[in-house]
Each structure stands twice: as structure tokens, then as C-alpha cells.
Amino acid sequence: MARQTRSTIEGTVNGVDVDRLKSTVEVMRAVPDLAKFTFRATNRWMKGGLNRSSIGGFHGAGAENHRDGFIIDTAQPPLVAGGDEAPNPVEYLLHALVGCLTTTLVYHAAMQGVRIQAVESQVEGQLDLRSFLGLREDLPGGFEGVDVRFRVKADCSEAELAHLMDVARRRSPVANFVVRAVPTSVVCEAM
């Protein structure tokens, strides 16, 4: 009977601490400067197509936020003269896109009291390597287009799901970014 309780959502929904998220919303509504975040990475070349990023603290909510951080590599497959030690940079971009859309969907569903059982997605992007190789200066470079397909199992109607997905597409920071750069389709079906 989730629907009857949606007006008084509290506690944790979809693994999201809704109380905390709502208090964050109220704080940032009152003091907009606290919503200004700066995220960072540093990177070091290892060899050939392999390099390594270190991701640590960030600035947000008016303070520096320390954390131990993460080390992540990127590399190239043999076809692009690499050793395939890690995903390549454009694959990380696709990961960022579906990861961000998923989190935005799950968070906004939680704030509206919609319980989610499963979210799966597939993404692909088309790239003409001639720009990277210097064969064509006139091509846009980067992805020419990006297509995302979601399958979601949630405690809501298909119309509500379509609305949630639309909210996710408009509010997801990475999706926003991708949509501004290239034609992007995002479709969603209920499981």
C-alpha cells in the first residue's frame, strides 16, 4: 500500500535515506551557495594507453569534504594499440551516464515514495575513430549519438514510471551534459 503513504515518506526508501536527502534539499533551498560543488580528479600516465586517476575530496555544502578516495585506471583495447588493462575513456563516459541516470531515477522515486525493485540499463555510443587518428579534422569527434534503454520494476503505473524517467533525464548531471553535446535517446519500459 505504498501509494497511501506517499505523502508522509520518511526513513529509507530504495536504500536512500530520504530524511537526510530532504533535509539537504531544505538546506540548499535556504542557502543556495551550499549547493555549489566542485568535483576533482588527478591523473598520471603509466605507459602507452594506460593511465591512472586518483579521486579524493571534493568541495560541497560550503566545506571541503575529505575522503580516502579511489584509484581507477583507463586503457585501450589492442585494436587501438593498447593492452586492455581497463575500460577505455569513452566507455567510462557511458558508465557515468547510465550510473547517473539510475541514481537520479532511484533518488527521485524514493522522495516520492515509489519503491523500486530493479533497474537495468544498456547504453551504446557511436564513434568514428578517424577524428582521433587525425584522418578527418571536420568530424565532430566524440560520440555521434548515444542510445540508452532502461528496464525498471517499480511500485507505480507505467505513466508514473515514464514521468520518473523524464525527471531523471532532466535532472541527472551527466545526462544533462550528454544531451547538450550529442543527440541522445533514453527509452524506458516497465519490467
Binding residues for a copy of itself restricted to 140-179, rule: CB under 8 A? 140-143, 167, 170-178
CB of 129 closer than 8 Å to CB of 76: no
**Piece in contact with a copy of itself (CB under 8 A), picked from 1-9, 128-136, 156-164, 183-191:** 128-136
Q: In the complex with a copy of itself, which residue's Cβ is closer, 4 or 22?
A: 22
Q: Which amino acid, 88?
A: N
Q: In the complex with a copy of itself, which residue's Cβ is closer, 132 or 160?
A: 132
Long-range contacts of 140-145 (CB under 8 A, 24+ apart): 140/182, 142/90, 142/181, 142/182, 143/90, 143/93, 143/181, 143/182, 144/182, 144/183, 145/182, 145/183, 145/184, 145/185
DSSP class per residue in 137-162: SSS--SEEEEEEEEEEEESS-HHHHH
Minimum distance, C-beta of residue 2 to a copy of itself, in the bound complex (Å): 17
Q: In the complex with a copy of itself, which residue's Cβ is closer, 133 or 159?
A: 133
DSSP class of residue 81 equals: T
Minimum distance, C-beta of residue 162 to a copy of itself, in the bound complex (Å): 17
Does residue 25 interact with a copy of itself by CB under 8 A?
A: yes
Considering only residues 45 to 104 of the shown chain, the ones binding a copy of itself according to CB under 8 A are 45, 47-51, 53, 55, 58, 60-61, 65, 67, 70, 72, 74, 76-77, 79-81, 84, 86-100, 102-104
Question: Phi and psi dihedrals of 60, rounded to 5?
Answer: -175, 155
Applying CB under 8 A, the site for a copy of itself has a residue count of 101
Minimum distance, C-beta of residue 34 to a copy of itself, in the bound complex (Å): 8
Cβ contacts of 141 within 8 Å, gap of 6 or more: 131, 132
Residue 79 forms beta bridges with which residues?
Answer: none
Task: Using CB under 8 A, pick the residue from 9, 17, 160, 162 that binds a copy of itself.
Answer: 17
Minimum distance, C-beta of residue 9 to a copy of itself, in the bound complex (Å): 13
Could you give the CA distance from residue 100 to residue 184 in angstroms, rounded to a whole number? 14
Does residue 190 interact with a copy of itself by CB under 8 A?
A: no
Does residue 120 interact with a copy of itself by CB under 8 A?
A: yes
Q: Is residue 28 helix, strand or coil?
A: helix
